[in-house]
Structure formats: structure tokens, C-alpha cells
Amino acid sequence: MKEFSGKFVLRIPLELHKKLANMSISKRVSLNQLCVLLLNRGLGVLEGDSYQEFEPVVKKLKEKFKDKLSGVVLFGSKATGEATESSDIDLLVILDGSVEIDRSLYSWWDDNVIWSDRELNPHFVSQPKDISEVSGLWFEVSISGKIIYQRGMIVDSIFAEIKKFIADGLVRRYISNGHPYWVRRITTDEE
């Protein structure tokens, strides 16, 4: 049986290529990321398809926040495949800027989201306005998180900007006592 590499060449009409390239630029994701997402959607496979267990949680979040819900991302040991039986599960719940992030969101979660497998911890955040001001949590989630749900390509776009920020050397990841942390490069007005 042939082994698959995950790479192949696809020949498409020039106009379609231009349209996809322009769409990837406007969505701020790579052409490859866009094509994978569109192919998955066309096949009925969502990016978080292997995380179907979270569908009831996403449904509850959609009911509560409607179009103010930008995305839900699994992160931590469950996302990296390092979870043990005692590991909790972490979800980054991304809301648009119109929703105030306060304790009432966590109270609502406790009262409405039923999860019996293991501890499920929400981390409510607003969509970042400026990537240069995001916290270390965003950096970590952008490189190891698994998108379970996103409206349009919002989360892909945010993650692409963050990854560019990292690639440009504007922030660096360190490990201390087994835990990652991020340090920003200090820039001067001359840079």
C-alpha cells in the first residue's frame, strides 16, 4: 500500500488560482492553509472533526454568544497529545470585542456547560486588536492549539499574524521548570 506524504501538486485554472491567492491575502492566511480549510469544508470535514466530543460545548457557546463567538480552540496537554487520565482540558473561547470578559461568563459556564469526562476549563478572551499586545497564552495556543470552531477564518487569521510576529523574532519562547513563557524583544525608535 502506498504511503501518503500529505503533499501533492494540484493544477487549477489561472483565474481560480488568482481568486484563491487574493482570498488568502484578505484572510491573512497562507494559500496552503486556505486550500486545506476549503477542501475540508467541501468534504464535510471540519478542522476540529477529530474533536467531535466538544460539539455540545460549541453548540452551547453558539446559542449564548451567537455571532459574537469568534472561535473555540483546544490547547494544553489534550491538544498536544500529552494528556494523562488526570489532565484537565483547556479551551480558549474567543469572543469579539463587544463582549465584556468578566466573572459572569465563568458563572454562566458553570451553570450551563455540562461535561462529565474530566475538568473542562474555559479561558474567555477577546479577539486581539493589536497582535503586538497579546499575552503569552495567545503565543502558546497559536503554535500548539487545535481549532475546534471558528467563524469564517477569524482564528486562522489571528494565528497567522501571531506566527508571523514569532517568525519575525519579536518574541521568543523559553522554558522554565517545564513551563513555557514568552519574552518580547525590546525595540527602539530607530528600528
Q: What is the number of H-type helices and E-type strands within the chain?
A: 7, 6
Is the residue at 124 inside a domain?
yes
Q: Is the pLDDT of residue 69 over 70?
A: yes
- Is 108 in the same domain as 176? yes
In a domain, 162, yes or no: yes
Would you say 123 and 90 are in contact if contact means Cβ atoms under 8 Å apart?
yes
- pLDDT at 189 (0 to 100): 60
The answer as to whether 131 is a domain residue is yes
* DSSP for residue 17: H
| Tens-place pLDDT, residues 109-128 | 999 998 777 789 999 999 99
In a shared domain, residues 20 and 30: yes
pTM reported for the whole predicted model: 0.74
Half-sphere exposure of 61 (CA within 13 A, CB side): 27
Q: Assign residue 127 the CATH number of its domain.
A: 3.30.460.10
Pick the closest to residue 46 from 158, 142, 154, 147 (CA basis). 147
Q: What angle do CA 178, 184, 185 make, to 5 degrees?
A: 125
Cell of 183: 519574552
Q: Which residue range is the domain that position 27 belongs to?
A: 11-45
Residue 98 included in any domain: yes
Tell me whether residue 99 is exposed, middle or buried, using C-beta atoms within 10 angstroms of its C-beta: 0 to 12, 13 to 18, 19 or more.
Answer: middle
User: Which pLDDT does position 59 carry in this prediction?
Assistant: 94
Q: 154 with 164, same domain?
A: yes
Kindly state whether residue 3 falls inside one of the protein's structural domains: no
Please tell me the total count of domains within the chain.
2
% of the chain beyond a pLDDT of 70: 91
Q: Is residue 190 part of a domain?
A: no
Q: Is residue 18 part of a domain?
A: yes
CA terminus-to-terminus distance, the chain: 54
Does the residue 136 lie in any domain?
yes
> Per-residue pLDDT averaged across 128-144, rounded?
93
Rg (alpha carbons) of the chain, rounded to whole number: 18
Same domain (yes/no): 75, 32: no
Cβ-proximal residues to 58 (8 Å cutoff; 6+ apart), any chain: 72, 148, 149
Q: Please compute the mean of the pLDDT values over residues 56-74 and round it to a whole number.
A: 96
